[in-house]
Structure 1
Amino acid sequence: MWLLFEQPLNEKIRSYLRIEAVTQQVQAHQPFQLAHGELAFFRSLFELMELVDRADLRSDLLKDIDKQLQNIERWRQYPGVDQQQLASFAELLTGNQQQLQQQARPTAELKTDNLLAALRQRLTIPGGCGSFDLPLLHFWLAQPLEQRQQQALAWLKLLQPYTDTISRMLELLRSSGHWQDSLAMSGCYQATAEHNIDLLRVRIPAEHRVYPAISAHRNRFTIHLVNADTGKSDHRNLPLQLSLSLEQQ
């Protein structure tokens, strides 16, 4: 089994990855199948709201969509390209673009919800969500499961133009890199790229019980392998697989 680690090399991709991770968390909690899972859902939802509220996120996504649509137009000129697939992808991106243009403030409606507003204040207090603190929450928890699930989906749908677009951008970014076999000599690997790197992906065999400490900047990076059992540098010669997703020009 290979363990996968991802290292963003700029703030924009770092933000995308954080939003992706929290989106996955909130979606996993949304079915409310575990006891007391609702509070985990709300904590993840509030994290997602804060991340999506970043001032430059919308403009970054719109710029990325424009770049991808321009790339698609160039790819149309290449012989043997699947034109139907390109058209389908362009349609999806155009849909994302239109949704983002129509929704300048993604969390505005969520912030006016009475339950969410009350919960957001109390969740910062240890043990602050008891029935005596938040009777509204405990009324909501007593509603049928299906009703609570549908309400949670409605909240998430308000953020979907952003979360869906980020998921699509990261899918494209990851697919632009190609896996290559490499070797960390004495537990260290260094490399440079001709162009700036957006995302560095590293795969390491789980059997070696190491994880990477990555130092990276724009078009160069260093990977030091750390032994998970000792917490110290591992100096063995160990195999790696690397994938570099380069910054789009």
Structure 2
Amino acid sequence: MSDDITTIIFEHPLNEKMRSWLRIENSLIQINSFSAIDSLPTALSFFRAISEFIEVLDRGEIRAELLKELEKRQKKLQQWLSFPNVDKAIVTQIIDELAENAAVLSQAPRIGQHLKQDKVISLVKQRLSIPGGCCNFDVPALHLWLSLPQTTRDERLQSWLTGLLPLQNALNSLLMLIRQSDTFKPALSHRGFYQDSAEEGELLRLKIAIDHQIYPQVSGHKNRYAIRFLPLDSENGTVPLELPFEIACC
């Protein structure tokens, strides 16, 4: 993280769908951070991220949810085209992007199936829950795979990442629209507490100055939420009587 950053954005989902999407997004960010698998530590970090990603995918009908939301957003944007003072070119561009993502996602193979069927991933995944369970005598196939030419491993890595693009592009488009659906507004907590109505919101976003070294603990749902602000140093840190921050309910 850059030393120039003065604020940090915290996000909290207000429904189960958004909770699942944010977890998938987080897993995809981790997975895509690997440009190469060139050592055992790198391999174990990558396969652990892949394993968590597969577990999240298995908890719901992600493709159906995304396609439904893509259609819903397209219809809403189509209505915007009839509003005065709307930049129709930008709105049309977004509609076309959503439609393209929906078409690609609907035609793609089952999401994550290429990862579940991969023998290297399957062998490693079985051992990750065992402390120290990925030694070369535990998973000799991984030891062999790591000894293959780097170009061979790069090609396999790229095939794994490419298979996730239909999901990744659709999810990124939706989350971008949701995050941009509301702007940050100034707010003030009293004695480390703040609450308000969510008005059918899906995602709560908080912007707090890093210098405060304070983080939010959020509880709530689509109609109402409450925020408790806590110091990073639980023993010596303090929360100001009034804490200024910014909030967006998307």
What residue in structure 2 maps to residue 167 of structure 1?
Answer: 172
1:223 corresponds to which of 224, 227, 239: 227
Structure 1 stretch displaced more, 117-126 or 27-36: 27-36
What residue in structure 2 maps to residue 73 of structure 1?
Answer: 78
Q: Classify the secondary structure of the residue corresponding to 2:47.
A: helix
Which amino acid is the alignment partner of residue 23 of structure 1?
L
- Alpha carbons of 1:58 and 1:87: their partners in 2 closer, same or farther (altered >3 Å)? same
Q: Does residue 49 of structure 2 align to residue 53 of structure 1? A: no
The Cα shift of 1:34 comes to 7.0
Q: Does residue 24 of structure 2 align to residue 19 of structure 1? A: yes
Q: Percent identity?
A: 34
What residue in structure 1 maps to residue 3 of structure 2?
Answer: none
CA contact (8 A) 1:192 1:220 kept: yes
Q: Classify the secondary structure of the residue corresponding to 2:226.
A: strand
The Cα shift of 1:112 comes to 2.1
Give TM-score, length-normalised by structure 1: 0.90
5+ long unaligned stretches in structure 2: 1-5
Aligned equivalents of 2:129, 2:74: Cα separation in 1: 42
Aligned equivalents of 2:217, 2:238: Cα separation in 1: 9
| Aligned counterparts, 1:147-226, within 5 A | 147-193=152-198, 195-226=199-230
- Alpha carbons of 1:14 and 1:122: their partners in 2 closer, same or farther (altered >3 Å)? same
Give TM-score, length-normalised by structure 2: 0.89
What residue in structure 2 maps to residue 139 of structure 1?
Answer: 144
What residue in structure 2 maps to residue 3 of structure 1?
Answer: 8
Which amino acid is the alignment partner of residue 207 of structure 2?
R
Aligned equivalents of 2:48, 2:161: Cα separation in 1: 13
| Aligned counterparts, 1:120-131, within 5 A | 120-131=125-136
CA contact (8 A) 1:53 1:106 kept: no
Q: Classify the secondary structure of the residue corresponding to 1:105.
A: coil
The Cα shift of 1:236 comes to 2.0
What residue in structure 1 maps to residue 117 of structure 2?
Answer: 112
CA contact (8 A) 2:193 2:229 kept: yes
Q: Any idea what the Cα deviations from partners look like across 1:33-67, whole Å, max 9, x if unmatched? A: 67721110111012112222333211111110011
Aligned equivalents of 2:119, 2:65: Cα separation in 1: 31
Which amino acid is the alignment partner of residue 173 of structure 2?
R
Aligned-residue RMSD, C-alpha: 2.0
Q: Any idea what the Cα deviations from partners look like across 1:168-225, whole Å, max 9, x if unmatched? A: 11111000011101111222212124x2110111111111121112121222222121
CA contact (8 A) 1:196 1:219 kept: yes
Which amino acid is the alignment partner of residue 228 of structure 2?
H
Aligned equivalents of 1:52, 1:33: Cα separation in 2: 27
Aligned equivalents of 2:212, 2:154: Cα separation in 1: 42
| Aligned counterparts, 1:27-106, within 5 A | 27-32=32-37, 36-103=41-108, 105-106=110-111
5+ long unaligned stretches in structure 1: none
Aligned equivalents of 1:163, 1:52: Cα separation in 2: 13
CA contact (8 A) 1:187 1:234 kept: yes
Q: Classify the secondary structure of the residue corresponding to 2:163.
A: helix
